[in-house]
Amino acid sequence: MPAPVLRGDAGVGKLVEDLRERRAEDLLDSIFRVATELVRGERASLMLREDATDDFVISHAVGLAEDVKREVRVRPGEGVAGHVVASKRSLLVRGGEAPFTVRGGQYRSDSFVSVPIMIDDNARGVLNVTDRFDGRPFEDADLVTLEIIAGHIGACLVQQEQGEALQRLAETDPLTWLFNRRHFDKRLEAETNRALRAEHLLALLMLDVDKFKLINDRFGHRVGDQVLKAVALAVKQAVRLYDVPTRYGGDEFAIILPEADTEVAARVARRILEKAETVALPGELRDAGIPLSVSIGIATFPRPAGDANALVEAADSAMYRAKRSPMVRTARCDRRARRFRPLRIYPIPHVSRRASCRRSSRSRWRRSST
């Protein structure tokens, strides 16, 4: 099992990636501003498609108020920009009125040019320039110039998306499709810094598959891989939208829970156990009557853990405390005394080796733990 310590180059790697992203964004902004200057436009906007909604929003602008940039949202077919998106054809207007009926209102400028940003025959954006500085209407030469620049913007977007895709692959575990250790190190550093600035808690879950080595030795790595995939599926189904589920290493998983205290983390841990009960197990384990058993440790930052490394160590130690407990599969690190106390999350079928405990034994455990 890898030592629960953050790699020292995590901050440097984050800085390099931030610089790359900034360079790509700066290049896009530079191309946009050059386009505006070449055609002597007074106002301009670059609208890009929003993946979540397919609406087009303003990414870069010149001569527009900040509230306009934030509020403008165009759907294909709506307004001039929406018409250009839907038709996939450029539009040059010299005399104030578009040569078609515009759904969503008329354009207010006397002369304007709108050019689609095309990628693989799909409109991914629109470049709009309105009103020349000299008061004259735009010309065909301006349209040709903007169409050439639109091609460069499209190439820049493709390069940016490819870089993002490669980055995602570099930070994804190929077996479980959870984030990998590299992404974990980077995000944990960022989230601990954010928790300090915002003065809120951050929780970390460390999860380990019980007797995983025995499963591998008896049934082979193929079955072991299926078990890891099943646990990963349970984790994905249980975590919140903004949590960071990670395959930490081997049969150990880590989940970063932003803005979460021990109670919130315990609810997520409970859901993981419940989801693990429903996932399909390999046939070899079912035939042998071997249940899936996991142990979960919980720790919070900045109390009691004072830094990212201490948070990982505390959650890891709590996880081993849960693993040694005969009745409880989840333990937390106590904030005040730095002691590890079991949470009242009882075993459930296919999650714990001791799922069939009697009510009386549970009652005795409750009395002894309070």
Residues designated catalytic: 251
What the block records as the tokens of 58 is 């303003």
User: Where do the H-state alpha helices sit in the chain?
Assistant: 10-38, 66-71, 79-87, 140-170, 181-198, 212-219, 221-238, 262-278, 283-288, 308-324, 359-369
From residue 65, alpha-carbon distances to 42, 106, 140, 245, 328 in Å are 13, 19, 28, 40, 58
Tell me the chain's radius of gyration from C-alpha atoms: 28
What the block records as the tokens of 18 is 């931030």
119 touches 154 (CB < 8 A): yes
35 touches 127 (CB < 8 A): yes
Q: Of the candidates 81, 160, 142, 141, which has an alpha carbon nearest to the alpha carbon of residue 117?
A: 81
Listing DSSP states for 343-363 in one string gives -S----TTT-TT----HHHHH
130 touches 109 (CB < 8 A): yes
Which residues, other chains included, contact 182 with Cβ-Cβ below 8 Å and sequence gap of 6+? Answer: 13, 170, 171
Report d(CA 275, CA 272) in Å as an integer.
5
Report d(CA 45, CA 32) in Å as an integer.
8
Cα dihedral 5, 9, 12, 14 in deg (nearest 10): -50
What the block records as the tokens of 165 is 């895709």
